[in-house]
Amino acid sequence: MTWHKDRGPGERRGYHHGNLREALVEAALTLIREKGPAGFTFAEAARAAGVSPAAPYRHYRDRDALIADVARRGFEAFAATLAAAWNEGRPTAREAFNRVGAAYLAFAGKEPAYFAAMFESGLSLADHPDVRAEGDRAFAILREACEAVIATLPADRRPPPLMMALHIWSLSHGTAALFARGDSSRRPIPMSPEELLEAAVLIYLDGLGGR
């Protein structure tokens, strides 16, 4: 992991000599929480980190490179979270599969700044292959979980693993997005995100004969 082993990816660290990169990442996370991933400049990130406008160029060529580093770290933590929830499909594929969905929602709720950098920054993945690689690693865990569940379905009702992974990703991400706004502009939803996702996945699997 790229952060201190005793801290979560969203916890603050103080700036000191030799820790400029970490200070800039923390400043970017704070600004993302306040303004969104596209709502601040490189100079604002430097100011929030308490350094000169020129200092960030020691580590990042521009603001997008800083955001890309935040997104990469986010995907790295996200993949670790999903892998721990999956736990190689133990004790059963279906139980572990449900844990992966809950972990997806938990990460989105606990780390909104990382989540925004990962999915809302508008970065070109072609320009940032390290971000793409970490994102692919996270998605691979979801696909592995889908493959295990597919193996439990009737032989004539088994969808292609990639298609199912994309469907479950859409359900999970859509549910996380619905609950991302905590203000009065959000349409009232009479259930928790976990309940909503669990019901949606149950209906999806029931349609495949997986009850």
How many Cα atoms occupy the beta-carbon half-sphere of 178 within 13 Å? 18
Residue 126 Cα distances to 12, 62, 116, 177, angstroms: 30, 16, 19, 25
Residue 135 scores a pLDDT above 70? yes
- The pLDDT value recorded for residue 158 is 95
- The pLDDT value recorded for residue 35 is 94
Residue 10 scores a pLDDT above 90? no
Residue 129 CA to residue 133 CA, distance in Å, equals: 6
Q: Which of 121, 123, 124, 127 is nearest to 38 (CA)?
A: 121
Residue 123 CA to residue 59 CA, distance in Å, equals: 18
Identify whether the C-beta of residue 88 lies closer than 8 Å to the C-beta of residue 110. Answer: no
Residue 117 CA to residue 114 CA, distance in Å, equals: 5
Residue 8 scores a pLDDT above 60? no
Q: Could you tell me how far CA 22 lies from the centroid of its own chain?
A: 19
Residue 58 scores a pLDDT above 80? yes
The confidence band for 9, taking pLDDT boundaries of 50, 70 and 90, is: low
- The pLDDT value recorded for residue 11 is 45
CA dihedral of 10, 48, 115, 64, whole degrees rounded to 10: -130
What is the average pLDDT value for the chain, to the nearest integer? Answer: 90
Q: Taking residues 135-147, report their average pLDDT.
A: 98
Comparing 181 with 125, which gets the higher pLDDT? Answer: 125
Q: Which two tokens stand for residue 146?
A: 């889908």
Residue 96 CA to residue 84 CA, distance in Å, equals: 10
Q: Taking residues 63-81, report their average pLDDT.
A: 98
Comparing 12 with 31, which gets the higher pLDDT? Answer: 31
The confidence band for 209, taking pLDDT boundaries of 50, 70 and 90, is: confident
Q: Taking residues 113-140, report their average pLDDT.
A: 96
The confidence band for 4, taking pLDDT boundaries of 50, 70 and 90, is: very low
- The pLDDT value recorded for residue 160 is 97
- The pLDDT value recorded for residue 15 is 47
- The pLDDT value recorded for residue 56 is 95
